[in-house]
């Protein structure tokens, strides 16, 4: 009978994503600001993604744009936080 390894070396996973989509009682424009205060010490590097430059009126007409991440927060760990008006994702990136 063939034995399978119990542990893979080196670890073959280079990226994994957990995404949560939600609706909120607060306006879409303030979701990032509310989350920023909770995560800015662990993820001090913030980057605005290109979709954040699209006017909110256009984004509201296309629900796919509201579910896209608008901001990327990172730090020293391989974990990256992606925040949009109606979604939040935690990404593990090992490159």
Which 3 state secondary structure label does DSSP give 9?
coil
In whole angstroms, give the CA distance from residue 31 to residue 84. 8
Higher-pLDDT residue of 7 and 22 is 22
pTM: 0.81
Give the pLDDT confidence score for residue 95 in this predicted structure. 66
Task: Using the predicted structure, report yes or no on whether residue 11 has a pLDDT greater than 90.
Answer: no
Q: Specify whether the CB–CB gap between 71 and 46 falls below 8 A.
A: yes
Decide if pLDDT at 84 tops 80.
yes
Q: Is the distance from CB of 43 to CB of 74 less than 8 angstroms? A: yes
């Amino acid at each position: 009978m063939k034995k399978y390894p119990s542990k893979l070396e080196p670890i073959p996973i280079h990226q994994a994503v957990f995404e949560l989509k939600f609706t909120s009682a607060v306006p879409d424009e303030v979701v990032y600001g509310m989350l920023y205060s909770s995560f800015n010490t662990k993820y001090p590097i913030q980057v605005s993604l290109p979709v954040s430059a699209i006017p909110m009126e256009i984004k509201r007409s296309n629900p796919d744009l509201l579910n896209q991440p608008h901001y990327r927060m990172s730090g020293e760990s391989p974990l990256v936080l992606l925040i949009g008006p109606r979604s939040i994702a935690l990404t593990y990136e090992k490159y």
